[in-house]
Copies of this chain bind each other. A is one copy, B any other.
Amino acid sequence: MSSDLGRRHLLQAGAALGGGLVGWSARDLTHDRGAEPADAAPAPAYGGEREPFHGRHQSGIVTPPQAHALVLGLDLRSGVDRAGLARMMRLLSDDVARLSQGRPALADTLGELAVLPARLTATFGFGPRVVAELVPPRHRFDFAELPDFATDRLRPQWGQTDLVVQLCADDPVTLAHTRRVLLRDARVFARVRWTQEGFRRARGAEPAGTTMRNLMGQVDGTVNLSERDRDHDRLLWSDLPGLGGGTFLVLRRIAMDLVDWESLSRSTREHTIGRRLSDGAPLTGGAEHDAPDPHAVDDRGLPVLDRAAHVLRAQPQKPDERFLRRPYNYTRDEADPALAPDGVEAGLLFVAFAADPVAQFVPVQQRLAEQDRLNEWVTTIGSGVWAVPGGCSPEDGDYVGRELLGTPAL
């Protein structure tokens, strides 16, 4: 783990220093005499920065979150067997190995769009049906879809799929091009069921390390599994046979009733969450990263935190009820007034990674479904879980999922 990390940081530093325009001449692709007034403050361009694709783990998990995400849910076409899935994973792995390093994919005729990876990552996952039907018995494991939680209002259009591909980058043009390349190569094997687009603050808009805010205006993601946590590796990486270096991805599409939410008083919103709006600190005092005190009382002896406040209900009750959150905001035109009274569905793509979602994620979500003041304003309308294989090596013919599928180098 630590050597992986060391290498990652080294490569990042190298990309930042070296420019990262690999295989294409920087002179061909940049211009300093554009037609537009050059009144922006000059800053080093970060488009060339690269995240490593190869390694023990897939990229896009512990990668510091990029500004943009495109999450694709795909279903395998009928008749695609284990060998077919392996061929598809070989193609897609090769595509991302190149694109993430600023090189065009094979037969990528729009290669000019490939020169700025902007920290592009791709994270591939297999759904329960794939594990049950295409993973060989020696690697098969008990893998059910997530249970229905009482507060869920799931819409099939955002449901469980055979495959998930989480694409992230700091640049939306890079993501658009990457999606095209991947869908072209996946087309004969799979069809897209849904696409979920997410965004955070743009790269560089605010200081690095700032916890993101969701579209409710709240600081979101304060309590998170950190690489500095001694349980990090155990809680994140699976040790199931065939899944070494892998994990599980949980995606929940959480729609927000912003029209109602923004009509509430500031105090009501703060007590619903249990945190200050201004800086995300618990209402019981301290700063953002301090723990809330469920026993704190005010001057009159009354509890500061409502027992149903989101911050308390979401708190782990056992040390293992923790996971790595990597959420994105989303908006989408939506004609259904039940979902979007003002025509815009807005919410959170809750993305979480855990070695064992049943032990780590499900109890937390059960508790929130039982009672959480926030439930009045948020509704989960999509849900899925996927096994995320470990990463692949740069050796010729390796690809994501090869160990789990037990298939040969291709």
Task: Name A's B-contacting residues (CB within 8 A).
Answer: 9, 12, 16, 25, 28-47, 64-65, 67-68, 109-113, 116, 118, 170-173, 176-177, 179-180, 183-184, 187, 191-192, 195, 199-211, 213, 215-218, 221-224, 226-227, 258-259, 262-264, 266, 269, 277-279, 288-289, 329, 331, 333, 342-344, 346
> Chain B residues with Cβ under 8 A from A34's Cβ?
208-211
CA of A224 to CA of B35, assembled, Å = 7
* Closest beta carbon of chain B to A211's beta carbon, Å: 6
* Closest beta carbon of chain B to A382's beta carbon, Å: 14
Q: Which of A41, A44, A111, A199 has the most chain B CB atoms inside 10 A of its CB?
A: A41
CA of A42 to CA of B46, assembled, Å = 12
Whether B170 contacts A45 by the Cβ 8 Å rule is no
Contact of A37 among B25, B113, B204, B227 (CB under 8 A): B227
Whether A173 contacts B213 by the Cβ 8 Å rule is yes
CA of A45 to CA of B206, assembled, Å = 5
CA of A262 to CA of B109, assembled, Å = 6
Q: Which of A183, A192, A204 has the most chain B CB atoms inside 10 A of its CB?
A: A204
Whether B64 contacts A216 by the Cβ 8 Å rule is no
CA of A33 to CA of B228, assembled, Å = 13
> Chain B residues with Cβ under 8 A from A113's Cβ?
213, 215, 217
> Chain B residues with Cβ under 8 A from A40's Cβ?
64, 208-209
Chief secondary structure at chain A's binding surface: loop
CA of A68 to CA of B329, assembled, Å = 15
Contact of A262 among B110, B207, B263, B344 (CB under 8 A): B110
Whether B206 contacts A176 by the Cβ 8 Å rule is no
> Chain B residues with Cβ under 8 A from A180's Cβ?
258, 262, 342, 344, 346
* Closest beta carbon of chain B to A218's beta carbon, Å: 8
Contact of A65 among B36, B43, B201 (CB under 8 A): B36
A28-B278, A109-B266 known; A202+B172 contact, CB < 8 A: yes
Whether A33 contacts B202 by the Cβ 8 Å rule is no
* Closest beta carbon of chain B to A132's beta carbon, Å: 27
